[in-house]
Amino acid sequence: MGGRNSPLRLREADRVEIISIMDNSIDLLLSSQREEVKPLRDWVKKENRHPIAEHGFSMLIRVYDGDESHNILFDTGISPRGVVMNARRMGVNLSDIECIVLSHGHYDHFTGLPAVVKAIKKSELPIMIHKDMFKKRGVERANGTIREYPMFPLEDAVRPAKYIDTKEPHLIAKGLVLITGEIPRVTPFELGYPQHKAFVNGKWEPDPWLWDERALVINVRRKGLIILSGCSHAGIINTVLHSQRLTSIENIYAILGGLHLSGKNLEERITQTVEELKKIRPRIIVPSHCTGWRACYAIYEAMPDAFVWSSVGNFYIL
């Protein structure tokens, strides 16, 4: 593993398959002209009941290099059993998962963790976390009171799985997948969410930066980087810049995940974010979860050939 100022030896993957296990929306009639995208109805051979959508996020990632393959689960949704139920309804075998990565310590990304671990049925399954995920957190209401968030589960709740703290950049899947570690804030407009609070030393303190948020990065041979984001509290442009810096690879092939551009305060950043995304020129962009419809529409208008509407059950072959 390398430091922040030296490129990490991220191995090239032959291809990557990603299944949207949980997201904010589901569109069973979705059509896509992209050869890389298969809607739910096109790949599930037998379904007794449809999966559901919820305000949460989870993606199953399968990365391939020749005969070698690895299965990673990125986040586990907001409900206790939504991800497990969706996986079953889509015919996804969770027992193939060899590692879970949690993007950050907000409950719409970790609540399903105990049930997922139980479904995977592996001893000492690694769960990649950041120690700040255990903070007591909340959000400030308009009247100044704090709405407390559910607490991150202690390790006893997920045994025999095992937490592994990854503050720094870290390679998993035998070097085919990179966890970015803490993402530096360098852009002038991606300034966090001022209403976020953390309970520190007996009082609620500002917690706008969420230093525990990390993204996943994969380098696909002859195509470039795939970046997967849980919420982009660090800002998707900061996330891209950090990924490029860590790998010394400029070309961004695909961006998938939450971009957190919804809500009154964050919608002010849509125009600047879209302008920077146009400069990055990803071949595919799939804004998900907390991106918001206004930002999705702006991205579609600016990058119609790259834009893909996110839906539970979407199957991406990249």
Domain ranges of the chain: 12-317
Please report the pLDDT score of residue 123 as a whole number: 87
- Please state the φ and ψ torsions of residue 246, each to the nearest 5 degrees: -65, -35
192-229 pLDDT, tens digit per residue, is 888 999 999 999 999 988 999 999 999 999 999 999 99
DSSP state letters, 269-315: GHHHHHHHHHHH--SEEEEETTS-HHHHHHHHHH-TTTB----TT-E
For 221, the token pair is: 């041979």
DSSP state letters, 41-74: HHH-S--SS-----S--EEEEEEEETTEEEEEEE
Please report the pLDDT score of residue 45 as a whole number: 78
Cβ 285 vs Cβ 308: under 8 Å: yes
Mean pLDDT in each 10-residue stretch from start to end of the chain (318 residues)?
Answer: 58 98 95 91 81 97 97 98 97 96 98 98 94 96 95 96 96 97 96 92 92 97 98 97 97 98 92 98 98 98 97 97
Please report the pLDDT score of residue 7 as a whole number: 57
Please report the pLDDT score of residue 260 as a whole number: 95
Please report the pLDDT score of residue 49 as a whole number: 82
Please report the pLDDT score of residue 5 as a whole number: 47
For 48, the token pair is: 């007794």
Q: Where are the alpha helices (DSSP H) in the chain?
A: 40-43, 82-89, 107-110, 113-120, 236-247, 270-280, 293-302
Torsion over CA: 150, 155, 161, 162 (sign): positive
CA 103 to chain centre: 6
Radius of gyration of the chain (CA): 18
Q: Say if residue 95 is exposed, middle or buried (CB neighbours under 10 Å; 0-12, 13-18, 19+).
A: exposed
Strand partners, 317: 17
Matching residue, tokens 């929306």: 25
Homologous superfamily (CATH) of 12-317 is: Ribonuclease Z/Hydroxyacylglutathione hydrolase-like (3.60.15.10)
Enumerate residues 6+ apart whose C-beta is below 8 A from 144.
none
Please report the pLDDT score of residue 1 as a whole number: 36
In 3D, which of 227, 232, 257, 264 has the Cα closest to residue 244? Answer: 227
